């Protein structure tokens, strides 16, 4: 007979404790402990089971394993396929996460529409009624014979449906609403989420069915539930973007079947999400003219160059310690660049508030944007706008020197494609850009001080 134990489990990291605690000693979050009932089987039982289940086929030389052909089901939504690494793989479990209302359910329902019409799909929803799904499907123009809806939260019923109906794809919206009634803890608790996911992974792997799980995020933007959830699934995709803006970005933070560098860009329209094939154009639309403190750069998002607009605003501080705000730029990098601005460019900013922002909710994690951040700061300090057709690309070192960036040709080509004529790059990269095009001026600079020249 299995022993039943009561425990307190941290809903953030899964840390277990016999007593309730205000602050988790593992992840240092507050108020995350919830009571869970855990039934434990004795260790000897596990050992016995392991001994029975072991057989020769569980111990095979690598060279004898047949890898087979790699099968990918294309979702036919180009930006989603890009992030998935070319489509779904049979047996793959994907966790799709993001803020409420950002478009998770919309994207998955649209995926049902665009998938090959012969594929049989089970869409299990614990969030909405079948009627709500139907209304949304009408709005999105989803008209499919092979799409089946299960509205409910009983996970074992879903598993039973999967086993008897053998769909080609399963969508669970959301994993936090699903429950296994034998477990006494409530929906959304660590135990429920973990066990439900475990059951679904088991079905996915044994029946080779891809499964999409929708995951909620907590108030910090992390996936709600135990961290272990992210380790269990094959791919984790985050939906980013500002709810009040119309565009959305999906990004894989983990992918066992593809790269994690690619992003997918969508625009939310009246009839659902539309893939944006040329994100640069969209991100630069509405750029102000003749305003100081804005600068365009080009970053690589996976294999794709994307132009981004960086804005800076510097004002006299009314606070005892001036405000620093970096939206879309890594904080540490931003601090480093303000130090370079003071020490190497001779601007005193110690008593000034500095705000920087990357337009469109894009998050830059590339050092190739350094020079453009400095250019926008200097532009605002001097109150001199950059010419409208200037793009700035380059990394900056602590000595104020410019450093080479990778794939400079691709970046410059993207800038040229969008009409930029004067491109500022690190001096060593300028030599590689002899054939940038007619009427294109490439300016190589070796030190950040030379940025003053471009205004």
Residue 47 DSSP symbol: H
Q: Which stretch binds ligand TYD (CB under 6 A): 45-53, 134-142, 219-227, 393-401?
A: 134-142
| Position 400 contacts ligand TYD (CB under 6 A) | no
Number of residues binding to ligand TYD, judged by CB under 6 A: 15
| Position 311 contacts Mg ion (CB under 5 A) | no
Among 22, 61, 270, 320, binds ligand TYD (CB under 6 A): 270
Token digits for 10? Answer: 């941290």
- Distance, C-alpha 291 to centroid of its chain: 32
CB 405, CB 423: distance < 8 Å? no
Alpha carbon separation from 439 to 269, 389, 426, 436 (Å, rounded): 38, 12, 19, 9
Q: Which of ligand TYD, Mg ion, none binds 270 (CB below 5-8 Å, type-dependent)?
A: ligand TYD
The smaller minimum CB distance to ligand TYD, of residues 113 and 407, is found at: 113
Q: What is the DSSP string of 346-380?
A: ----TTEEEEEEEGGG--B--GGGHHHHHHHHHHH
Q: Which of Mg ion, ligand TYD, none binds 139 (CB below 5-8 Å, type-dependent)?
A: ligand TYD
Q: How far is the CB of 196 from ligand TYD (least distance, A)?
A: 18
Q: What is the rounded CA–CA span in Å between residue 9 and residue 35?
A: 6
Question: Positive or negative CA dihedral for 216, 219, 220, 226?
Answer: negative
Among 14, 85, 87, 103, binds ligand TYD (CB under 6 A): 103
CB 366, CB 406: distance < 8 Å? no
Residue tagged 């003053």 (tokens)? 452
Cα–Cα–Cα angle for 231, 237, 242, rounded to 5 degrees: 135
Beta strand ranges found along 168-320 (DSSP E): 169-173, 211-215, 235-240, 247-255, 263-269, 272-275, 294-301, 304-316
| Position 105 contacts ligand TYD (CB under 6 A) | yes
From residue 137 to residue 166, what is the string marking binding to ligand TYD with x (rule CB under 6 A)? --xx--------------------------
| Position 106 contacts ligand TYD (CB under 6 A) | yes
Q: How far is the CB of 173 from ligand TYD (least distance, A)?
A: 7
Q: How far is the CB of 173 from Mg ion (least distance, A)?
A: 6
Site for Mg ion in 102-131 (CB under 5 A): 105
| Position 11 contacts Mg ion (CB under 5 A) | no
Q: Which of Mg ion, ligand TYD, none binds 101 (CB below 5-8 Å, type-dependent)?
A: ligand TYD
List residues binding Mg ion (CB under 5 A): 105
List residues binding ligand TYD (CB under 6 A): 98, 100-106, 136, 139-140, 268, 270-272
């Amino acid at each position: 007979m299995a022993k039943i134990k009561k425990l307190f489990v941290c809903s953030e990291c899964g840390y277990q404790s016999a007593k309730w605690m205000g602050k988790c000693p593992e992840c240092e979050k507050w108020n995350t402990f919830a009571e869970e009932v855990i039934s434990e089987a004795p260790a000897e039982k596990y050992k016995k089971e392991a001994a029975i289940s072991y057989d020769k086929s569980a111990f095979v030389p690598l060279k004898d394993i047949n890898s087979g052909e790699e099968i990918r089901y294309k979702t036919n939504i180009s930006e989603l396929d890009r992030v998935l690494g070319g489509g779904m793989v049979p047996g793959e479990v994907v966790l799709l996460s993001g803020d409420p209302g950002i478009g998770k359910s919309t994207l998955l329902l649209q995926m049902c529409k665009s998938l090959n019409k012969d594929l049989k799909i089970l869409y299990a929803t614990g969030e909405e009624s079948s009627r709500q799904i139907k209304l949304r499907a009408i709005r999105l123009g989803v008209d499919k014979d092979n799409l089946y809806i299960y509205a409910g939260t009983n996970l074992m019923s879903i598993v039973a449906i999967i086993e008897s109906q053998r769909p080609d794809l399963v969508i669970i919206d959301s994993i936090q609403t699903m429950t296994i009634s034998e477990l006494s803890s409530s929906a959304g608790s660590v135990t429920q989420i973990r066990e439900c996911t475990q059951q679904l992974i088991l079905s996915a792997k044994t029946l080779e069915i891809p499964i999409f799980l929708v995951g909620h995020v907590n108030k910090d933007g992390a996936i709600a539930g135990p961290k272990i959830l992210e380790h269990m699934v094959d791919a984790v995709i985050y939906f980013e973007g500002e709810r009040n803006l119309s565009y959305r970005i999906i990004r894989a933070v983990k992918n066992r079947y593809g790269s994690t560098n690619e992003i997918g860009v969508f625009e939310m329209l009246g009839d659902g999400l539309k893939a944006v094939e040329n994100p640069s154009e969209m991100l630069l639309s509405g750029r102000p003219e003749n305003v100081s403190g804005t600068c365009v750069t080009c970053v690589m998002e996976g294999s794709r160059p994307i132009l981004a607009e960086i804005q800076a605003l510097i004002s006299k501080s009314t606070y005892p310690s001036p405000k620093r705000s970096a939206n879309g730029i890594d904080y540490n990098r931003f601090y480093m660049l303000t130090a370079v601005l003071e020490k190497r460019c001779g601007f005193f900013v110690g008593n000034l508030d500095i705000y920087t922002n990357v337009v469109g909710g894009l998050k830059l994690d590339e050092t190739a944007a350094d020079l453009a951040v400095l250019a926008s700061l200097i532009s605002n300090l001097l109150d001199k706008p950059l010419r409208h057709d200037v793009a700035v690309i380059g990394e900056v070192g602590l000595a104020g020197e410019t450093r080479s960036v990778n794939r400079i040709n691709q970046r410059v080509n993207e800038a040229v494609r969008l009409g930029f004529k004067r491109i500022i790059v690190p001096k060593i990269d300028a030599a590689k850009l002899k054939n940038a095009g007619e009427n294109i001026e490439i300016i190589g600079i070796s030190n950040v001080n030379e940025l003053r020249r471009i205004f």
